[in-house]
Amino acid sequence: MSKKDVIAEAKGKLGFLTPGMGAVATTTYAGILSIQKGISPPIGSLTQMGHIRIGDRSDDDQPLIKDFVPLADLNDIVFGGWDPIDDNAYEAAVRAGVLEPHHLQPIREELENIKPMSAVFEQSWVKNLEGSNTKKGVNKLDLAEQLMEDMEQFKKTHNCDRLVIVWCGSTEAHQEIQEVHKSLEAFENGLKNNDPNISPSQIYAYAAISKEIPFANGAPNLSVDIPAIFEYAEKNNVPIAGKDFKTGQTLLKTILAPGFKSRLLGLNGWFSTNILGNRDGEVLDDPDSFKSKEVSKLGVLETILQPDKYPDLYKDLYHKVRINYYPPRRDNKEGWDNIDIFGWMQYPMQIKIDFLCRDSILAAPIVLDLALFMDLAKRNNQKGVQEWLSFYFKSPQTSNNLMPENDLFIQQTKLKNTLRVWMGEEPITHYENN
Ligand SMILES: NC(=O)c1ccc[n+]([C@@H]2O[C@H](COP(=O)([O-])OP(=O)(O)OC[C@H]3O[C@@H](n4cnc5c(N)ncnc54)[C@H](O)[C@@H]3O)[C@@H](O)[C@H]2O)c1
C-alpha cells in the first residue's frame, strides 16, 4: 500500500480560523475569495501554483502540487476569526489600506459577513493596542474553554468537516520560557491560577490542541514554541508550526546569505532598516513587541552562515535590524539593506538593497499555504512540530532542540521531499540523473 492511501481525503468544508483579523488576515481572505471568483490568480502560493518533480529528470513528470497531494479545495474554505477590535473583515481591510477599493468591492458582501468573535486579549501583551471585543472569564482556563466553545460552534454553524488555525494576531511582548511553560501539567495549573506568564496566543493554542485543530503561528512571539504545547500536541496528535511569517527583508536575507556562503564570500556587516506604517508597525513601536521581532529577525544569519565553522568569513559579522514606525507608508514598507562583504585577499565590496515591498501581499499566500499544508498534515496523522514547513518562517521551530534550517532553498527541498515521501515517491537527491 502506498502512503497515499493512508492520507484521509479532503472532503467537506475546511473552516479556516485566524486569531487576528488585521492587514494580513483580511488580505488573505480577500485574495482567496477573489481566486474563488476567478478574479485573481493565486500568485505567491506554492500550493496553488507550484509544481513538483517526480522521479528522474528524464521522466519529465512535474505535476502541480495541488494535483499531487490531496489538498483542500479553495472553494471548500470558510473563514472566521477573533479580534479585540469589532470591525468586520471588510471594515478591517479598508482600515488596513492594503487593497484598493476596486479589489474589495466585488467581495465586499462576503467580507462583511466575516465578523470577529470576541478575543482573549490582555493589553499588557500588546501595549499599543486597545480593543473592547474581548472575553471575560474567571481564569485563563475558563477563557480557553470559551475559545473551545467558539471552535465547536463555528464548526457546527458552517457545517465544516475540519478546522485549521493560523495566528495572524499582533506580535506579543517578548518573553523567555518560564517554569509554567515547561510541562503540560505546569501549564494547566497556570491556566487555573491565572499565571501572568501565559499569553493570549498560548491560550488559543491550548484551546486549538484540546480540540485537535492544527495551529500555526505567524507572529514571532513564543505561542506554540514552548515545551508544554509540544507535549500537548504530541499527546493529542495535533500538528503545530511556527514562527513568524518569512516575508520582506528576511525573505531576501535567506535568499542572499546562502549564495554568499556557497561561494565562500565573507561578510562583516549587514545593516537592515525599515519604515513601516501599518498597525503592525505601530505595535512594533513598543520595545517589548519589537524585542520579539528582533530576536526572530537576527537568528537567521547565524544558522545560515555558521560562524563557528567558518570563522575567517563570518566571525566578525555585525548584524543590526531596525524597524521604524512611519505612518505615511501604511502597509507599503520600505526596507534598506547595506551588506559589507569581502572576497579574495579580503578586498571589501558592498551591496545596497532598497526593497519597496508590500508586507501583507507577501504574507497572504504564506497564510493560505500554511492552512492547507497543516490540514494535510493532520489528515496524514502527523503530530507535533512540522519542520518541513520551515520554508514559511523567519524563526522555524524544531523538535528535539535540533538546529533550525534557515536557507530558503534547503527548506524548499525539505518541503517537497516530505510531500514526495508522503505520497510514496522517492525523495530527490540530485545525484546523477536524479
Ligand atoms: N505582514 C507581514 O509580512 C508579516 C510578516 C511576519 C509576521 N507578521 C505578523 O503577523 C501578525 C499580523 O500582522 P498584521 O500586519 O496583520 O497586523 P495587524 O495589526 O494589522 O493585525 C493584527 C490584528 O490582531 C489583533 N489582535 C491582537 N491581539 C489579539 C488577540 N489576543 N486575539 C485576537 N486578535 C488579536 C489586532 O487587533 C489586529 O487587528 C503580526 O504579529 C505580524 O508581526 C506579519
The reply to whether 428 falls in a domain is: no
The reply to whether 427 falls in a domain is: no
Number of domains in the chain: 2
| Contact present, 162 and 15 (Cβ < 8 Å) | yes
Same domain (yes/no): 163, 62: yes
Same domain (yes/no): 353, 386: no
Same domain (yes/no): 216, 176: yes
Provide the pairing of β-strand 215-217 with 160-167.
parallel
Extract the residue ranges of the chain whose pLDDT is less than 50.
1-2
Q: What is the dihedral of CA 94, 98, 99, 104, to 10 degrees?
A: -30
Q: How far apart are CA 335 and CA 273, in angstroms?
A: 6
The pLDDT tens digits for 50-75 are 999 999 999 999 999 999 999 999 99
Same domain (yes/no): 414, 335: no
Q: Integer distance in angstroms from the first to the last C-alpha of the chain? A: 24
Q: Containing domain of residue 214, as a range?
A: 3-245+361-422
pLDDT of residue 346: 97
Q: How much is the pTM?
A: 0.96
| Contact present, 364 and 290 (Cβ < 8 Å) | no
Q: Is 94 exposed, middle or buried (0-12, 13-18, 19+ CB in 10 A)?
A: middle
Using the 3D structure, point to which of 331, 358, 385 is the last residue of a domain: 358
The reply to whether 174 falls in a domain is: yes
The reply to whether 431 falls in a domain is: no
The protein residue whose alpha carbon is closest to atom 17 in ligand 1 is 280
Contacts of 346 by beta carbon, 8 Å cutoff, 6+ apart: 266
CATH number at residue 222: 3.40.50.720
- CA 156 vs CA 14, 357, 374, 378: distances in Å: 12, 39, 21, 20
pLDDT of residue 1: 39
Pocket test for ligand 1, best of 17, 18, 21, 24 (most atoms within 8 A of CB): 24
Same domain (yes/no): 64, 202: yes
Same domain (yes/no): 154, 221: yes
The reply to whether 430 falls in a domain is: no
Same domain (yes/no): 276, 379: no
Measured from the Cα of 362, ligand 1's closest atom is 3
Element (H, E) at 103: helix 101-104
Same domain (yes/no): 261, 232: no
pLDDT of residue 395: 94
Ligand 1 centroid to 18 CA: how many Å?
Answer: 10
Q: How far apart are CA 154 and CA 117, in angstroms?
A: 10
CATH number at residue 318: 3.30.360.10
Hey, which residues does 269 pair with through a beta bridge? 318, 340
Hey, which residues does 51 pair with through a beta bridge? 64
For the chain, the maximum distance between any two Cα atoms, rounded to a whole number of angstroms, is: 68
The protein residue whose alpha carbon is closest to atom 18 in ligand 1 is 22
The reply to whether 170 falls in a domain is: yes
Using the 3D structure, point to which of 358, 375, 402 is the last residue of a domain: 358
Same domain (yes/no): 136, 263: no
The edge-to-edge listing of strands for the beta sheet with 77-82 is: 77-82, 13-19, 160-167, 215-217, 239-241, 384-385
Enumerate residues lining ligand 1, CB below 6 A.
Answer: 19-25, 82-85, 96, 119-121, 126, 129, 131, 168-171, 200, 218-219, 244-245, 247-248, 278-280, 283, 359-360, 362-363
The reply to whether 330 falls in a domain is: yes
Ligand 1 centroid to 131 CA: how many Å?
Answer: 13
Give the closest residue to 249 by CA, choosing from 394, 351, 46: 394
Using the 3D structure, point to which of 358, 376, 408 is the last residue of a domain: 358
Same domain (yes/no): 334, 381: no
pLDDT of residue 393: 97
The reply to whether 429 falls in a domain is: no
Same domain (yes/no): 220, 344: no
Same domain (yes/no): 199, 273: no
What are 350's three cell numbers?
558592498
